[in-house]
C-alpha cells in the first residue's frame, strides 16, 4: 500500500468518490476558524492551476468561482452581493480591459504611497538607482 499526505480541502463529491473507490482516507471536518484559511489556500491552489493556454482553462476559472463563492458565504455574502461589489469596484477603479502592466513606479519621497509600497518589500522591491 502507498500513502500520500494531502493536507488539503477537497470538494464534497471528490471525497465521496474517494470513499466509493475504496481508498483509505484519514480526514477531519474543519472548524469554523480553520475553514476560511483553508479556502484561501484552495483559492491559491486553483489560481496556480489556471493556465490560459490550457484547453481546460475555463474549468479552472469555474473552480476559482466555486472557492470564491464559498468564501463569500463564509463571510456572510451571497454570490449576487459579491457581483454587485465587483461591479461597484469596477465602476470606481476600472477593469483590466486596457491590459496595462506597470513595470516601475518613481515617487517623490513625500508621496503618501511610498509608505504603502515600502511596507511590503516582498511584493514591491525598492530600487536604489534613481532615474
End-to-end CA distance of the chain: give it in Å, rounded: 62
pLDDT at site 95: 93
Q: Where are the domains of the chain?
A: 12-118
Is the pLDDT score of 130 beyond 70?
no
- Give per-residue pLDDT as tens, 109-129: 999 999 999 999 999 999 986
pTM score, whole prediction: 0.81
Considering only CA atoms, which of 33, 30, 32 is closest in space to residue 9?
Answer: 30
Segment 89-109 shows an average pLDDT of 92
Average pLDDT, the chain: 93
What are the pLDDT digits (tens) for 46-59?
999 999 899 989 99
CA distance to 72, 78, 96, 128, per residue, from 82 (Å):
7, 6, 18, 40
Of 60, 24, 25, 27, nearest to 44 by C-alpha is 60
Cα 61 to the chain's mean position, in Å?
A: 11
Amino acid at each position: 500500500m502507498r500513502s500520500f499526505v494531502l493536507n488539503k480541502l477537497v470538494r464534497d463529491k471528490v471525497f465521496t468518490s474517494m470513499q466509493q473507490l475504496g481508498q483509505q482516507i484519514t480526514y477531519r471536518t474543519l472548524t469554523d476558524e480553520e475553514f476560511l484559511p483553508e479556502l484561501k489556500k484552495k483559492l491559491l491552489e486553483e489560481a496556480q492551476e489556471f493556465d490560459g493556454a490550457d484547453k481546460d482553462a475555463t474549468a479552472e476559472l469555474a473552480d476559482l468561482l466555486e472557492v470564491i463563492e464559498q468564501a463569500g458565504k463564509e463571510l456572510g455574502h451571497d454570490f449576487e452581493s459579491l457581483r454587485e461589489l465587483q461591479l461597484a469596484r469596477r465602476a470606481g477603479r476600472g477593469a483590466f480591459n486596457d491590459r496595462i502592466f506597470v513595470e516601475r513606479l518613481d515617487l517623490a519621497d513625500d508621496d503618501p504611497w511610498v509608505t504603502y509600497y515600502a511596507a511590503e518589500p516582498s511584493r514591491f522591491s525598492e530600487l536604489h538607482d534613481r532615474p
